[in-house]
Amino acid sequence: MIQNAAARLVFNLPKFSHTTPLLHSLHWLEVAARIRFKTLMLAYKAKNGPAPSYLKALVTSRTAPRLLRSTSTARLVPPSLREKEKESIPTGERVVIGADFNGHVGEGNTGDEEVMGKFGVKERNLEGQLVVDFAKRMDMGVVNTYFQKREEHKSGGRRTQVDYILFSRGNLKEISDCKVVVGESVARQHRMVVCRMTLMVFIVPHAWKKR
């Protein structure tokens, strides 16, 4: 890692020296922590300090519909998919995203009930938080987490879950199942993820012309 190499260079230490105390001594945050710090600092400035108007327009305080324990905490509402982008999606079409997001959204859904269910895997990590934030911004739900499955149908028996299917939140009732196909190994630590979707098809009769 470049940051670790830079710390060793500052202290003129060998290549395999332990870097954690060096980073503490230099007051350097780890890369993931620094990203989070810069994001929080930017949000704070947009909310309370000098920041461009286009950033301030994206920062909105969350207002709870009823009194909750979290009411006293300063929470923000992630910017949703813009109306212009929503309007670009033809009526009757569905937005589905399936990909290797390389993150764990975690078990439970406290605070994120609007975009995920309770049946994730492991504890949430930074990459998983990015998945949840993306789902909120795009007004989508993490389909895998809404269906309680045996271990082999959640993660292929590997106790890991990094492949997700995201679907428009307003149409989640059209998804009736989502699982991992046991025995179908796509790549190392990856199993095929499938979901069952029920769509209503309307047939418009052709207008017959009179002769």
Residue 17 sits in the same domain as residue 104 = no
Residue 139 sits in the same domain as residue 153 = yes
Domain end, chosen from 77, 106, 128, is at 77
Domain end, chosen from 77, 111, 127, is at 77
Query: What would the DSSP string read from start to end of the chain?
Result: -HHHHHHHHHHT--TT---HHHHHHHTPPPHHHHHHHHHHHHHHHHHHS---HHHHTT-EE---SS--GGGGS--EEPPPPPHHHHHTSPTT---EEEEE------S--TT-TTTB-S---S---HHHHHHHHHHHHTTEEEGGGGS---HHHHHTTSS---EEEEEEGGGGGGEEEEEEEEEEEEETTEEEEEEEE-----PPPPPPPP-
pTM, to two decimals: 0.53
Residue 100 sits in the same domain as residue 193 = yes
Number of domains in the chain: 2
Is residue 160 assigned to a domain? yes
Q: Is pLDDT larger for residue 73 or for residue 158?
A: 73
Domain end, chosen from 62, 77, 92, is at 77
pLDDT tens per residue across span 104-133? 888 888 888 999 998 888 888 888 888 898
Q: Is pLDDT larger for residue 1 or for residue 114?
A: 114
Residue 71 sits in the same domain as residue 89 = no
Is residue 209 assigned to a domain? no
Is residue 52 assigned to a domain? yes
What pLDDT does residue 93 have? 78
Residue 96 sits in the same domain as residue 42 = no
pLDDT tens per residue across span 69-112? 656 666 776 665 555 566 667 777 788 888 888 888 888 888 88
What pLDDT does residue 146 have? 93
pLDDT tens per residue across span 140-154? 999 999 998 777 655
Residue 70 sits in the same domain as residue 90 = no
For 58, the domain range is: 1-77
Is residue 140 assigned to a domain? yes
Is residue 207 assigned to a domain? no
Is residue 42 assigned to a domain? yes
Is residue 10 assigned to a domain? yes
Residue 90 sits in the same domain as residue 175 = yes
Residue 69 sits in the same domain as residue 95 = no
Is residue 210 assigned to a domain? no
Question: pLDDT over 70 for what percent of the chain?
Answer: 75
Residue 73 sits in the same domain as residue 133 = no
